[in-house]
Amino acid sequence: MKILLTGKNGQVGFELERTLAVLGDVTAVDVDDCNLADEAAIAALVVRVAPDVIVNPAAYTAVDNAEKNQDLAFAINGRAPGIFGEHAKRLGALVIHFSTDYVFDGSKPTPYVEPDATGPLGVYGASKLAGEQSLAASGAAHVILRTSWVVGAHGANFAKTMLRLAKERDSLNVVSDQFGAPTTAALLADVTAHLVRNRNIAAQHSGVYHCVNAGETNWCDYAKFVIGFAQRAGVALKAGPEQVNPIPSSAYPTPAKRPSNSRLDTSKFRSTFGLQLPPWQDSLTHTLRQMVTP
């Protein structure tokens, strides 16, 4: 089996390069190898590799910067998935693509299910929704995994930012009125490998799926969990979990508005593919063990 993996230097791509290696011949690329804003470059890459499976975690993920770089965000997040899909259909290949909770506006009081109405609050979410739509419209066999709050031992993320700030500051103020589930890059890589291994079954169940760690929290309690782990591991910190103060979103304005409810119901994914999604605390603890050094 030939596998084309994009975004190899990203949080999820880094883990995928490991999990996919045992399943076939992996060609892993990043922006230096193929600019996903360049349709001709994508076409040349797919023609060269002729993959059986395309795994696309690559994205323009700078949520706030997307507000002023709309064209680039839509090129990478919106059009590229459809281009991959068009070539995949010609080859009879499966596309596994990653999307986001930001396709929703966050106003629903309960976890979102896949058929719920979308309503992105900003350019990033709108561009990711466009990517879902362009891939589906291509007619290729595809699995779109919507996920949230991704965290990995490799790359930049919220947990690493909190650890850095806890070393530098005596106290931290963190938003407490946005809810979701931290989801580890390792978990996403593991479930993707399962889908690739069972690609014929995955192709038979083309569609959108929610895939996040089980449970829920808010950003403030998430920060307390991370800092508390580091404290117990012997990391020298200026601020412990008791110095992490909850604040409303209104006290921390950002160029792009975030959904207050990022909770995603994973029942469809679990029942379709027969997989368990462990609690976020368990997966995050494993990732923090790799990330935190005294």
Q: Where in the sequence numbering do the catalytic residues fall?
A: 124
Q: How far is CA 214 from the centre of its chain?
A: 15
What three-state secondary structure class fits 238?
Answer: coil
CB atoms near residue 47 (< 10 Å): 11
What are the φ/ψ torsions at residue 217 (nearest 5 degrees)?
A: -160, -175
Q: Measured on CA atoms in the order 162, 163, 167, 168, is the torsion positive or negative? A: negative
- Identity of the amino acid at 217: T
* CB half-sphere exposure, 89, CA atoms < 13 A: 13
Collapse the DSSP code of 84 into the 3-class scheme (helix H, G, I; strand E, B; otherwise coil) and give the result: helix
